A and B are shown apart, each in its own frame.
Chain A
Amino acid sequence: MLKAPSIRALVVLALLGALFLALPAYVGAYGLKFATRMIILAIFVVSLDFILGLAGLVSFGHAAFFGVGAYAVYFVSSESEAANVFVALGAGVAGAAVAALLIGAFVCLTRGFYFIMVTLAAAQMMFSLFHDTDIAKGSDGAYIMIKPDLTIGATTLIDFDNRTTFYYVCLALLVASVLALFWLARTPFGRIVQGLKANETRLSALGYNVYQFKLAAFVVAGAFAGLAGALFACIDGFVTPELFSWHQSGLAIMMAVLGGAGTLFGPILGVLAYVSLEETLKTASLVGSFVADHWRLGTGATLVVAVLLSPDGLAGFLRGKTVPKKVEPLKDVMPAAAPRKARALATRDLSKSFGGLRAVDGVTADFAPDLVHAIIGPNGAGKTTFTNLLSGAFRPTAGQILVDGENIAGWPAHKIARRGVGRSFQRTNIFATFTVEENARIAAQAETPSVFRLSEGTARENQIAKVAHALSVVGLADRAGAVAGAMSNGEQRQLEIAMLIAGGGGILILDEPLAGMGPEETRRVVELLRDLKSDHTIILIEHDMDAVFAVADTLTVLALGRLIAHGSPDEVRRDEKVISAYLGGHAPAQGKGAPA
């Protein structure tokens, strides 16, 4: 999660701020314009960092929104009269936000590799649109005749034609943008955006619609890029399709990473570093005429080396000392009793085929409320596939899944989670870069998973109580400040269960919760399961038979995808089919007369 900048970083930023405040008094027109460009570029790169560094989405088409922002100013400007500053910048932000919404609706369908390519292609499409057609004078680019100003009555308060005024407006907007994005990152909304980077599968299993959050983050980043573009158009009063160029997008990524992606202030340092590097390499008196003639070679080579050495960017040098934070053990407070969302689970002829393989084959079973139901079976029996069907990770090929009588087969994972079905994964699945408390918090927050939640509101107290309760119950109350990824495997599994409790689901599906746990941890979890069943229905997949018999109220046995037994542990233990399935097909019915 995004941390507040360290003292050292704040000092550097304050010094930079002072330097930039005083700058207009010391530099000439050229220097001022140069600094203005740099500041606008910084707004652009910081906006990229919101989606690149925080949400972990590598957008290679961010220049599309920069370009739209710039062209929006052109479209609202007339030839005879200056446009209002608010109209011009507002048009830039709004235009870019709409473009980001339209483009984002497509690109957020994809992930990873496709996301990179598709964002690149989308920006290139915008380039073609403005380059090949006659919109805004096509490839020649177009002039904004009169720059925007702010006039009330007869007095002009702000005139973008005045270089110094414009410079300070840009500087103020940079500070405002960084603060706004920083604030946004710390809201409940921002927590989930950062969850996208840490663990998308987990988010969706907690009940969040990740598509909506990706799209929202994409639009936010696009809107701020639009602001940068609108300001950029006001520097020279000239817009050109080159603003959409994919080099622009690529360089922005370079600068963000160079400065330190995911910090929101690092990109500012990245812009400064990159621009200084470029200017130095272009200056023949410093580097000699050969290097100055081929300065692009120099920047390219420097960047290659920078990536290979792979630093955390410049912000890495400004990181505070990592003093392990002393966090008071959380006190267990009972959260306000909320009715559990779902209780009874049943399947009807549930099947899943992969090609010709029927991994789950016509399973019909009832799992009554408030009991622990263990699902057992030899390896390859289809247990994990079965749970993946229940939680919506896989779509059933046929059959029904009934939650309190409602068929949820085919629903997406997040919708099923929201209906009250929580699950843990065979491989521990948490937000590794978040602290324990933040992990539980993001789960507790899933109760009201609307997209734009900017403050916790009245739910805050109860959420904190839920987090404290859930962590206390699993025994992690004194680990609240630890970074989840650094804990032992057993503790991570405990945390995963705490997240399910905090998430408020009434049906918990636990896929091998005891794997990799020592005897002490196992004992604790078994006890925990007994406690939980007073108000949860638990589906447990486990290989540890001692634990299973200690806690399970019913056993369901799967073999080769079929249900072969379902009943109380004692009944199942005596079942002939179960005995033979576990002994395997190689040792059929010993002592009953082997077949010929």
Chain B
Amino acid sequence: MSLILVQILNGLQYGLLLFLAASGLTLVFGILGVINLAHGSFYMIGAYMALTLTSYTGDIFLALAAGIPLAFLIGMAIEWLFVRHLYKRDHLQQVLLTFALILVFNEAQQSIWGNYPKSIPMPSYLSSSISLTPELGYSVYRLALMAICVGLALLMMFVIQKTRVGRLIRAAESNPEMVEALGFDSRVLFRVVFAAGAALAAAAGMLAAPVESAYPGIGERVLIISFVVVVIGGIGSIRGAFLGSLLIGLADAFGKVFVPKFSSVLIYALMALVLVLRPNGLFGRS
């Protein structure tokens, strides 16, 4: 019983992190029309920023406060340098350029931080565990992490649904030319959306760092699973990304317990099942 409870919590925690990463991916495709393979690299950058910034500030949350704006700026720079040239190009070129970016990011990571996994300290005041049931404790940091993810997710939903910028984003998603014709500079809008996606992915990487440490290839693992999430949820759908993330998070957590060797395969099988039943994902537009 307590095993199931722990796996539910682990699954939710993984799912929430995935949601932060996948929501950026789905937004960037839905609004900018760009398939960004380098999205996972922002998660990786987040994890390593957590390493460096925590060593300066001494606390993961201070690192987060500094790191999110930093990741936003990095996102803007990448959009300005590379991604904006892709808006009018076909999928193949988008895939190629962002794949080449991954090679560059990976090499940069190995040059700066090396090849060995690095662990990031948990803040001491959260490193204890609380008992959920008499015989079961659960890390306080992991609970805090989930709370922050939920907070960020709610913030994002609020911005998209209730604010002026959000309305523009939603308008641009359905008809970018019209938004332009109405006098808004969609270039700025696109840059902000891309940077926000990057910041969300980096935030996920930073939050996860004390739990899973930072290691080479961490971004690609997240990227591929985020793809699965987006396919399951339906491209461009935030709601779909949320549901897909939690589904994958839980499937992964329980797969690891019950079919340890096939837990990854299980996730892809889940995706195949969704595709057969709903080829455009759970919330995708046909």
Contact = CB atoms under 8 A, between A and B. Distances in A.
Interface of A: 52, 58, 60, 106, 109-110, 112-114, 116-118, 120-122, 124-125, 128-129, 132-134, 246, 250, 253-254, 257, 261, 294, 296-297, 299-301, 303-304, 307-308, 310
Nearest to A258: B96
B275 A106 contact: yes
B146 interface: no
Interface string B228-239: 101100010000
Interface stretch (B63-71, B130-138, B162-170, B261-269): B261-269
A121 B95 contact: no
B265 to A, nearest CB: 5
Interface of B: 29, 35, 37, 82, 85, 89, 91-93, 95-97, 99-104, 106-108, 111, 220, 224, 227-228, 230-231, 235, 261-265, 268-269, 271-272, 275-276, 279-281
A308 B86 CA distance: 8
- Choose among A117, A134, A294, A299 the residue with the greatest number of B CB atoms under 10 Å from its CB: A117
12 contacts: A109-B279, A113-B35, A113-B91, A118-B231, A124-B268, A132-B264, A133-B262, A246-B220, A294-B107, A296-B106, A301-B100, A307-B93
A121 B106 contact: no
B96 A297 contact: no
B260 to A, nearest CB: 8
B38 to A, nearest CB: 11
Given A113-B91, A124-B224, A132-B263, A297 B271 contact: no
A114 B101 contact: no
Given A124-B268, A294-B107, A250 B99 contact: yes
Contact of B104 (A110, A114, A297): A297
Contacts of A109: 275-276, 279
B27 to A, nearest CB: 14
A121 B227 contact: yes
A549 to B, nearest CB: 37
A125 B99 contact: no
B103 A116 contact: no
Nearest to A250: B99
Q: Sorted from nearest, which 8 A-B pairs have the closest CB atoms?
A: A300-B103, A128-B264, A125-B268, A300-B104, A303-B100, A296-B107, A297-B107, A117-B227
B107 A308 contact: no
A110 B263 CA distance: 24
B265 A129 contact: yes
Contacts of A257: 92-93, 96
Contacts, number: 119
Nearest to B91: A58
Given A116-B35, A297-B108, A253 B231 contact: no
Contacts of A52: 92
A85 to B, nearest CB: 32
B229 to A, nearest CB: 10
Contact of B100 (A121, A294, A304): A304
B224 A299 contact: no
Nearest to B29: A113
Contacts of A125: 264-265, 268-269
Contacts of B235: 113-114
Given A112-B91, A294-B107, A303 B96 contact: yes
A254 B95 CA distance: 9
A253 B264 CA distance: 25
A87 to B, nearest CB: 28
A542 to B, nearest CB: 29
Nearest to A261: B92
A307 B100 contact: yes
B92 A253 contact: yes
Contacts of B29: 113
A117 B104 contact: no
Given A128-B268, A254-B99, A116 B91 contact: yes
B100 A300 contact: yes
